[in-house]
Every structure is written in structure tokens, then in C-alpha cells.
Copies of this chain bind each other. A is one copy, B any other.
Amino acid sequence: MTAPDPKLLANLRVVLARTSHPGNIGAAARAMKTMGLAQLYLVDPAIFPNSQADAMASGAIDVLANARVCATLAEALADTTLALGVSARRRDIVAEVLTPAEAAARLLGEARGAPVALVFGNETNGLTNEELGLCHALVTIPANPAYSSLNLAAAVQVLAYEVRQAWLGHPDWPQPEIDAASGSELENFYVHLETALAELDFLNPGSPGKLMLKLRRLFSRTRLAREDVNILRGILTAAQAGRRSRRE
């Protein structure tokens, strides 16, 4: 058996969105490092840096020191090609639901070619619909239905543990076949889509309602290749040209 490739773990980032308690950030950093993960992204944390975070990080203070703070989840995912949102089951969201083990396999397979992300929401409210819209699938930790509320760092520990077990078990992850579009390419597509729909009077820019959210979910259930994005944007440009020439 060949040794597992460290690059796979280096390409996997943990993204904590809008974390309320700095102690949880530190404990999450510790959980990551025990499993060999080092890329921590913090989206709009309530308090950071902080001495309580340092204390809970214990020997993983380097993970905190290298953490990247981002203003938005989109920024934290800009160069990733796969983002999985850790969440309890959501009846209101149509999305593929993975177990932690399935998620680990998916992430490591993709990490051979590009950065990938595990996304955790706020301690109290979890991930918003908008944040889930940026994720390609959900990961649900099978828990006690009567009390399924894992502490944030405990959830990070379980996912990081499954990632490490998968990494140790299969040193050679096959490369994904698709030349996946990156997070920023997808965001540019969505901006283009929203602009074009507004020009077509299909969407009211003042109240986009749930339309853009539904379209995001539709396209993130599939995994858009770079070429797919180019085709779709070509269609949008053609539609815009039709509408603009009418107005001239």
C-alpha cells in the first residue's frame, strides 16, 4: 500500500460561517489538527482573534494563526469546486444528503484536482438557505432524533475523523472526471443569470424572491463543468442581445 497523498488533506478546508463563540473556533481548530487538517476559513466570526479561542485550540494554535477571515461564504468558496454543507436534515431544501463517510469519499476524490470545502453554520441557527445555496450537497451526521444537537467542534471532529479514515483507507483517490467550474465562476454565472432575467422582465430586481435561490439549488444539484457554464452564459448573452435590440 502506498502512503496516502498529503495534498488531499491540504486541499480540504473547513469553513465556519458566522460562529458566535470564539471558544468553538479554537476547539474546531484542535479537532481539525488531530485529523491532519490545517485549512481553516472563518466567515464573519462574531469574535476573532480571541484568547478563549487560543485556549481551546491547545496545541493547534498554528491552525488559528493561519486561519483566513472572509466577509462572505462566497469569498471563502471562491476557488473551490466542491462545497458540502453540514446540516440537520432539511425538509425545505431539495438537496442530496450524504453521510459523513460518503462526504469524506466525495471530498477526497475531488481534492486531487482542486480545493474543496466542508461548511459549518452558526451554533444556534445552522446554515441559512442562502449559504446552503452555495453548497453542492448536505452532510448529515446520523444522530439521536430526540437530541441531535452536536456541539460545533464535535461536529467538526466527526467529519474530520471520517475524512482521515477515508484518507488512510484509500491512498489513491481517483480524479473526478469533470472539469468542474470554480466557486467564483459559478458566482459570475449567477450574477449574469440574474442580470439577464431582469432584462427579460422575468425577475423583478427589487424583489427577486425565491427565484434565484431555486435556480441556484437547481444548478448546484448538478455539478456544472466549466464548459457548461460557458454554454449557459452564451445562451444568456444571446437572450440579452435579443431583448436589447428590441428596446433600441
Contact = CB atoms under 8 A, between A and B. Distances in A.
A71 interface: no
Q: Which of A94, A141, A171, A175 has most chain B Cβ within 10 Å?
A: A94
A36 interface: yes
Nearest to A95: B176
A245 B232 CA distance: 23
This chain: how many copies in the complex?
2
Q: Which of A30, A146, A149, A151 has most chain B Cβ within 10 Å?
A: A151
B221 A222 contact: yes
A221 to B, nearest CB: 4
A117 interface: no
Contact of A99 (B31, B147, B171): B171
A247 to B, nearest CB: 9
Contacts of A173: 97, 99, 140, 142
A134 interface: no
Given A141-B161, A223-B221, A197 B59 contact: no
Interface stretch (A43-51, A78-86, A152-160, A183-191): A152-160
A218 B214 contact: no
A176 B132 CA distance: 15
A130 B224 CA distance: 20
